[in-house]
């Protein structure tokens, strides 16, 4: 299986939160049969979070190690750039050939989320996230898996 991990998932991975690790094991995220991808956009977001929260050397070293172990996908690929535009137009309800489902209103997605979704779509991977920002793209552009790691 192939997964693109949303930035919020990477944060839990870096923190090694117990509930996240339980969910990750259910999905076999760390098996040899699973490929994990990191959008370069998420890498930028993670370094911003690290700076804002003044991460120490140990956490930054862990982040660097993770980056060495996963496949980082640049957004300079033209297929991703074109998919970005398609997803943005769809989300705004102005895609020339794909309409939003009946009853769904147009929305402006965060630009970084569009890059992550476009990367996921081009890779034909599953996007693993913890939020609802991508729900309207499910089965239209991406395969989506949402997990919860909050306390019950």
Model confidence pLDDT, tens digit, residues 52-110: 999 999 989 989 998 898 999 999 999 999 999 999 999 999 999 999 988 899 999 99
| The pLDDT value given to residue 151 | 52
Out of 30-34, 117-121, 124-128, 133-137, pick the least confident. 30-34
Lowest mean pLDDT among 14-23, 37-46, 96-105: 14-23
| Alpha carbons 7 and 25: distance in angstroms, whole number | 18
How far is Cα 70 from Cα 3, in angstroms, rounded to an integer? 11
What strand order describes the sheet that includes 126-129? 71-73, 35-39, 2-5, 126-129, 143-146
Candidates 3.20.20.70, 3.60.15.10, 3.40.50.1010, 3.40.50.970; CATH matching 2-146: 3.40.50.1010
Element (H, E) at 104: none
What per-residue confidence (pLDDT) applies to 149?
74
Calpha distance 14→42 (Å, rounded): 13
pLDDT tens digit sequence for 115-131: 999 999 999 999 999 99
Distance CA 39, CA 21 (A): 21
- Whole-number Å distance between alpha carbons of 127 and 149: 16
């Amino acid at each position: 299986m192939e997964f693109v991990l949303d930035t919020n998932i990477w944060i839990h991975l870096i923190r090694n939160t117990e509930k996240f690790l339980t969910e990750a094991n259910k999905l076999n995220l760390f098996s040899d049969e699973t490929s994990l991808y990191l959008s370069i956009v998420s890498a930028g977001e993670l370094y911003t979070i690290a700076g804002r929260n003044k991460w120490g050397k140990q956490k930054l070293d862990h982040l660097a190690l993770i980056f060495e172990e996963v496949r980082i996908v640049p957004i300079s690929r033209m297929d991703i750039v074109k998919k970005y535009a398609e997803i943005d137009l769809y989300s705004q309800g102005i895609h020339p050939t794909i309409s939003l489902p009946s009853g769904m209103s147009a929305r402006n997605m965060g630009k970084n989320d569009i890059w992550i979704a476009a990367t996921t779509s081009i890779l034909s991977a599953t996007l693993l996230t913890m939020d609802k920002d991508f729900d309207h793209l499910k089965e239209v552009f991406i395969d989506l898996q949402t997990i919860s790691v909050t306390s019950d």
